[in-house]
Structure 1
Amino acid sequence: MDFFTAQDRARRQTGRLVLLLLLAVAGLIVAASVVVALAVVLFDGQFGGPDPLARALAPELFGWVTLGVVTLVVGGALMRHVQLRAGGSAVAEALGGRPLNLDTRNADERQLLNVVEEMAIASGMPVPSVYLLEDAAINAFAAGHDSHDAAIGVTRGAIEHMDRDQLQGIIAHEFSHILHGDMRLNLRLVALLHGILVIGLIGRMLLRGAAMTGRGRSSRRGGGGHVAVMAGGAALMLVGYAGTLCGNLIKSAVSRQREFLADASAVQYTRNPEGIGGALQTLAAYRLGSRLMASQASEFSHLYFGSGVRHLSRLTATHPPLEARIRRVLPRWDGSLPEPFAPTPKAAPAQDASPSSRRDAMLGGVGGGGMNGAPGESMGGALAGAALAGAVVASVGQPDPAALAAARRRLDGIDPRLIDAAHEPFAARALVYSILMGVDPASRDAQRHVLTHQALPEVLRELDALEEPLSGLTPGDRLPLIELALPQLRQLSAAQFARFRQCLAGLMAAETVPGALQWALHRLVLVGIEGERRARRDRHLRDLAGPLSLLLSTLARSGQASPDEQRESLEQAGKALGVELDLVRDPSKATELDWAMGRLVRLVQSERAALLTAMVCCVEQDGRIEPEEAELLRAVAWTLGCPLPLRDE
């Protein structure tokens, strides 16, 4: 399944989810109406009148019950949605996770960070925040509204009991959920189902409160009211249990097939079925299994790599049986499992002496072929323009072993001091400033003057320290370094981010010869931290001729030398889009390009493949995309929500 089809599928799943929710709410209304009708009949003395059955079946009573149930469901869903606005970090913290120290010296934690970073850079997407759950169970999850607020959580049991291949299989499984749009759907499901569950929560609170305040009051005046409160609480809990059953059925209906798809994608990404298969076998043999101890574990059960909670039956299980999942990825599996083992971690490897040895921990192979390209080789090779564009579009959201190998080589080729800087609070800001500063000496002097007056002294010291290793950067290194720095930059406080943003604006304003790549990387940094502010209304290509002309003219100037070649590239792009485009001859300002991108991100998902094809037509020269052009293409595609896997450039 290609990236664009998967995204459309996730959107359709949202519609299916809403339909299932409406059916569940209708069932709750019926259940609540029955409970209220029984209460009217049983407590007839409280209501008066000769015909309790007629009152129990009165349309007015049904209307009030319907209004009450809908109000509770909608209110509960909105409340949970607000609580989860922060995205994946909110889920991870609700489960007791802590952000993993990016400068950790623990070998298991370092290996986890390396695997996540490697997969993110290979996929062409920002590095998600990584959380560690201090739980002995083996489990993991990916959560978030979008790639900018995504978080991957992994339990202590998983990093201690999985080898690198198995851990890579689990992380590839979670990246599949991110790339296929499952992550966003899962979070919406949490918010919507909370509205159903809130009825039972209110009933539990009433029952518990009445039991605590009613001790010793059985003979006192007002005991009847106390009994009524307890009865009401019990009734709400009864309806709530029906809601819980509906919620579990909805989770099961939505999530089970996606787990099979994520397992298959993990094999596709790594070409190593033994990785994800071995992880599932280890989980099946582990005595503690995947069950999490967090109090809110059941609410997020459909997010996990393993089931995470116990289910009363397979009908309500959010995950397929482990045996079925193993056979899907290892068809020749004979059914044997490792000997059951207790939660005793594997022998701890020696702790790293310093953060600079981070890349030394990246051992272990990536299976499959297609890794023969050498660093410095341009993207595309001998492919013709149309074939190259088709290959690039087909690769969106589809990392493979070649991309993983390219990411590893790219990271290994970068000065370790720069890798370390991306994981440190002050150095990460200095690193980004340095990357975004222009190459023209006059620009750099003016930009350094800006930073001297606006940046913190600690950042300026790091800026000076990074000058020498940054001089060795090669085309293609800048984007991976920014991706590595994004998790650290997302941890900035509001005041720190305001200063950081002010410095970025100052750098852009002081640039005397602004380039397309600098603009694209600048925008990528901000979108990677804040996210993209998208209008709700989707747009079609036919409505976006102006923004398309502006962006594609900028790409054509970067990829083609002469005005005639630029015009020809734009004509090819227009044919791919079915839109008449005008060549913008003069270089566009950053504000103009931001305006164009702000409208292009509204493009409907089904037409983004055509836009990406047009972008490739503009930057390629004779079937080749040079390293700087590839970096520009990946940066722009990333901000459009089309992650391009890394290739040797």
Structure 2
Amino acid sequence: MDFFTAQDRARRLTGRLVVLLVLAVAALIGVASLALALAVVMLDGGTFAPAPLARAMEPRLLAGVATAVILVVGVGSLVRHFQLRAGGSVVAEALGGRPLDLETRDAQERRLLNVVEEMAIASGMPVPELYVLEDQAINAFAAGHDLDDVAIGVTRGAIEALDRDQLQGVIAHEFSHILHGDMRLNLRLVALLHGILVIGLIGRMLLRTSGSGRRLRGRRGGGHVAVLGLGAALMVVGYAGTLCGNLIKAAVSRQREFLADASAVQYTRNPEGIGGALKVLAAHRLGSRLLASHAPEFSHLFFGSGVRSLSRLTATHPPLQARIRRVLPRWDGSLPPAPAIPTAPPRHAAMHGMAGLSSGAAAGQARADAALAEERLADEVVASVGRPSAEDLERARRRLGEIDEGLIAAAHEPYAARALVYGILMGVDPESREAQREALVGQALPEVLVELEGLEPSLSRLTPGQRLPLLELTLPALRRLSVAQSSRFQACLRRLMSLEARPGALQWALHRLVLQGIQGERRARRDRHLADLSGPLSLLLSTLARAGQDDDVEARGAVERLSAVLAVPLDFVREPAQATDLDWAMARLVRLVQAQRAPLLAAMSCCVTHDGRIEPEEAELLSAVAWTLGCPLPSMERESGQPAGGTA
């Protein structure tokens, strides 16, 4: 299943969740009506006479019950939805997690940080916020709405009990949930089900009040009985709601856990990693059960079940033995298991209508061959979205190893991270850099300027392909800035861009990537089609074509070919676009429906691959723009001279 199909499937599942919620609310209304009838009977002396039952079944009263249940569920769900809008960090903190110190000297925490950073860079997505849960159980989770507000939490037990390969398997499992749209679905499920749980919480509160409410008993015994009966009724409704909620969570979660396990094998090409982690979990004395009070609410987010389930019907995770056998088919229950043959992610065509990109455009055999190479590489780019491979992971590890250790350390420290971003995003033109430096002296913090001066020798040795990973590494530290610090930092970035004498497409894309990585994605309704976006498409594709072609004639030819294939009238924009113009174009393109993002990404890749290769700077540009469109793109960079379709 490719990235775009997975995202659409997750959105369709959200619709099914609403249907299941409506059915659950209907069931709760029935239970509440029955509980009300019993309460009326109790208040009338416990006699099941026709009169009390008739009063309980009165249409107005039933309508009132239905309205009250719907109101409580609706308000409870909305309140929880707004509480969770900040993203995965809210979940991590609710579970007692603490942000991992990015400069930690703890070897095990450092290993975890390295594994997460490698997986993020291999996936082409922002480095997520990382939290540690001081719990000795083995567990982990990923939560968030979008790629920019993801948080990953890992328990202390997992950090200590798992080796690097096993930990990498767990992290790959969580990245699968991120890339398949599961985490957004899971948070919506939390919000929808919270309203059902609120009914039980109200009943519990009323029972506590009645248990200590001597004033009520003193005034009128019947009042106390009424409160007690109402509380008991609401508790019954609440337990029924909890059962419904657990059944819904189980129906949604179980198969997606199998898919995430399989994806972890595909991402790492190491079934012993995720399989070994599951075996350690199965043998662990504390298992995966978390002590946090909110664990039941978020149980469907966890790597392991996290809570004890009374029935397989309500279990949010498949049995561990079944999961182990899915990734290690030859496992016989003993250690070590016989190795299984890893499965690699299929690189099939996912162009959604982009096949035949070169048809009608070949003027000769050489041109046809070049167009075929572009098509093949564009097909590979689209198929790789949200599907990092073992080669991508190894490339990310190698690239991080080639970067100066001082720059890696700077990316994890708030002052140095800001200086690092300034140094990377300042223009290469001497006149521009001088004006930008003067602007920073008047606007940036002195401590940051000192850090920038110290980093300059290392920054001067950066090679193409190293800038994007470094910027990705800085994002967790930059998100932790105070409001005032973040505001000053963003103002400095905008000032740097405004002083750029010759702003290139890559410089603009990296600026935009950092700002979006801090601010988060501005959620927009996805209701536009390619045919509605001729102007923004012309501007973006012309800019990318100019960055990927040798001259304007070739760039114009690329845009004209894409105009025919996309069936959208495109005009080649001859003059280089300003940053504000490109921001305008992107603000409209983010409204593109999910189904048409694959053709757009294919068109973008064709613009920068006129020679059948993706050079390091072209890879950075393509990844940065794809990121802002919500399409995490693993690096498709080719080594010098390597033909398209190969593996770096």
Q: TM-score, normalised by structure 1?
A: 0.91
Partner letter of residue 398 of structure 2? R
* Alpha-carbon distance in structure 1 between the residues aligned to 2:290 and 2:272: 25
- 1:461 equivalent in alignment to 2:459: no
Kindly report the root-mean-square deviation, in angstroms, between the aligned alpha carbons of the 2 structures: 2.0
Please name the residue that 1:610 is paired with.
599
Please name the residue that 1:234 is paired with.
232
* Alpha-carbon distance in structure 1 between the residues aligned to 2:487 and 2:433: 22
Please name the residue that 1:313 is paired with.
311
Please name the residue that 1:144 is paired with.
144
Deviations 1:152-206 (A, max 9, x none): 0000000100000000000000000000000000000011100110000011111
- Local SS of the residue matching 2:135: coil
Deviation at 1:562, TM superposition (A): 1.6
Change in Cα spacing, 1:82 to 1:392, as seen in structure 2 (3 Å) is same
Partner letter of residue 274 of structure 2? I
Deviations 1:403-449 (A, max 9, x none): 01110111011111110000001000111111111000110011111
- 1:579 equivalent in alignment to 2:568: yes
Change in Cα spacing, 1:136 to 1:338, as seen in structure 2 (3 Å) is farther
Please name the residue that 2:211 is paired with.
211
Tell me which moved more, 621-630 or 161-170: 621-630
Whether the 8 Å CA contact 1:140–1:155 is kept in 2: the answer is: yes
Deviations 1:7-43 (A, max 9, x none): 1110111011111111101100111111112222332
Deviations 1:118-148 (A, max 9, x none): 0000000000000000000000000001110
What are the equivalent positions in structure 2 for 1:309-458 lying under 5 Å apart?
Answer: 309-337=307-335, 384-458=373-447
* Alpha-carbon distance in structure 1 between the residues aligned to 2:335 and 2:235: 41
Whether the 8 Å CA contact 2:614–2:636 is kept in 1: the answer is: no
* Alpha-carbon distance in structure 2 between the residues aligned to 1:632 and 1:241: 53
Deviations 1:440-460 (A, max 9, x none): 011001111111111111101
- Local SS of the residue matching 2:202: helix
Partner letter of residue 485 of structure 1? T
Partner letter of residue 392 of structure 2? A
Deviation at 1:382, TM superposition (A): 12
* Alpha-carbon distance in structure 2 between the residues aligned to 1:571 and 1:328: 48
Please name the residue that 1:564 is paired with.
553
What are the equivalent positions in structure 2 for 1:34-113 lying under 5 Å apart?
Answer: 34-44=34-44, 51-113=51-113
Partner letter of residue 7 of structure 1? Q
- 1:7 equivalent in alignment to 2:16: no
Change in Cα spacing, 1:123 to 1:589, as seen in structure 2 (3 Å) is same
Please name the residue that 2:179 is paired with.
179
Change in Cα spacing, 1:492 to 1:87, as seen in structure 2 (3 Å) is same
* Alpha-carbon distance in structure 2 between the residues aligned to 1:263 and 1:51: 59
Whether the 8 Å CA contact 1:140–1:170 is kept in 2: the answer is: yes
Deviations 1:477-498 (A, max 9, x none): 1110010000011111111111
Deviation at 1:578, TM superposition (A): 2.0
Identity %: 73
- Local SS of the residue matching 1:315: helix
Whether the 8 Å CA contact 1:204–1:233 is kept in 2: the answer is: yes
2:541 to 541, 549, 552: 552
Change in Cα spacing, 1:157 to 1:149, as seen in structure 2 (3 Å) is same
Deviation at 1:78, TM superposition (A): 0.9
Please name the residue that 1:257 is paired with.
255
Whether the 8 Å CA contact 2:84–2:90 is kept in 1: the answer is: yes
* Alpha-carbon distance in structure 1 between the residues aligned to 2:239 and 2:40: 21
Structure 2 unaligned segments of length 5 or more: list them.
Answer: 346-368, 639-648
Please name the residue that 1:277 is paired with.
275
* Alpha-carbon distance in structure 1 between the residues aligned to 2:612 and 2:336: 50
Whether the 8 Å CA contact 2:109–2:159 is kept in 1: the answer is: yes
- 1:591 equivalent in alignment to 2:580: yes
Structure 1 unaligned segments of length 5 or more: list them.
Answer: 340-366, 371-379
Deviation at 1:622, TM superposition (A): 1.8
Deviation at 1:561, TM superposition (A): 2.1
1:470 to 456, 459, 466: 459
Partner letter of residue 394 of structure 2? A
Change in Cα spacing, 1:57 to 1:121, as seen in structure 2 (3 Å) is same
Change in Cα spacing, 1:564 to 1:525, as seen in structure 2 (3 Å) is same
Please name the residue that 1:344 is paired with.
none
Tell me which moved more, 562-571 or 164-173: 562-571
Partner letter of residue 549 of structure 1? S
Whether the 8 Å CA contact 1:634–1:644 is kept in 2: the answer is: yes
Tell me which moved more, 128-137 or 51-60: 51-60
Please name the residue that 1:246 is paired with.
244
Whether the 8 Å CA contact 1:88–1:143 is kept in 2: the answer is: yes
Deviation at 1:223, TM superposition (A): 2.7
Tell me which moved more, 531-540 or 559-568: 531-540
* Alpha-carbon distance in structure 2 between the residues aligned to 1:315 and 1:369: 32
- Local SS of the residue matching 1:384: helix
- 1:224 equivalent in alignment to 2:258: no
Please name the residue that 1:352 is paired with.
none
Whether the 8 Å CA contact 1:255–1:302 is kept in 2: the answer is: yes
Whether the 8 Å CA contact 1:553–1:583 is kept in 2: the answer is: yes
Whether the 8 Å CA contact 2:261–2:323 is kept in 1: the answer is: yes
Deviation at 1:221, TM superposition (A): 3.3
Tell me which moved more, 204-213 or 135-144: 204-213
Tell me which moved more, 52-61 or 545-554: 52-61
* Alpha-carbon distance in structure 2 between the residues aligned to 1:116 and 1:24: 38
Whether the 8 Å CA contact 2:121–2:472 is kept in 1: the answer is: yes
* Alpha-carbon distance in structure 1 between the residues aligned to 2:609 and 2:70: 55
1:482 to 457, 468, 471: 471
Counting matched residue pairs gives 609
Deviation at 1:532, TM superposition (A): 2.1
- Local SS of the residue matching 1:172: helix
Deviation at 1:45, TM superposition (A): 7.8
Deviation at 1:646, TM superposition (A): 2.1
